[in-house]
A and B are shown apart, each in its own frame.
Chain A
């Protein structure tokens, strides 16, 4: 049963455009994440967000930014997309710390033309 929701499923855009992806979790978790998965299936953490504390992977380009209205939502904005941004973006959530696992959303596939 899906408990981490992402929209859209798929998005095609052109270089230079701005895009925004939505993520919502209904698990009552206090920490949310964004991952980028490339064509080789490599999972790269981009951001984690907990109690208004944002932790950023320093390798993430500044055109990427997370946006949160509350602990159940963590959206991802890309200000000016580049061809290398084509990938699957996965949202996840968990309880802070400890032994709890992450739960993943179905992902948003981005294609930049």
Chain B
């Protein structure tokens, strides 16, 4: 079963607007960590932002923010004032620290295109 699901395969937005990318996850752990990564056209994967499950406040880093809805097991990524260079594939991931595994569970990714 897929532990992390990204239902949006691709999104196109106009530059300088706001975009939200959806992600839902499945876990039985009471404590877990949620991540968003960006993969650029060059193939480089970079970490963007993290949400700790025990924190109620939504994480924010620069023009990235999260919409964490714990009862819905949802962690949306919000990019405000989008720029052309935000065009990339975005991956949602979850880490369960208590499973004994070192794995991160990744979604299938959402391709974002920012149009001038």
Contacts and interface: CB of A to CB of B under 8 A. Distances in A.
A43 interface: yes
B103 interface: yes
Could you say which interface size class chain A belongs to?
20 to 34
Main secondary structure of the interface of B (DSSP, over half): strand
A31 B45 contact: no
Q: By DSSP majority rule, is chain A's interface helix, strand, loop, or mixed?
A: strand
Contacts of A102: 35, 47, 104
What is the size category of the interface that chain B forms with chain A? 20 to 34
B102 A94 contact: yes
B5 to A, nearest CB: 13
Interface of B: 33, 35, 37, 39, 42-47, 50, 52, 89, 91, 95, 97, 101-104, 106, 108-109, 111
Interface of A: 31, 33, 40-43, 45, 48, 50, 55, 88, 90, 94, 96-99, 101-104, 106-107, 109
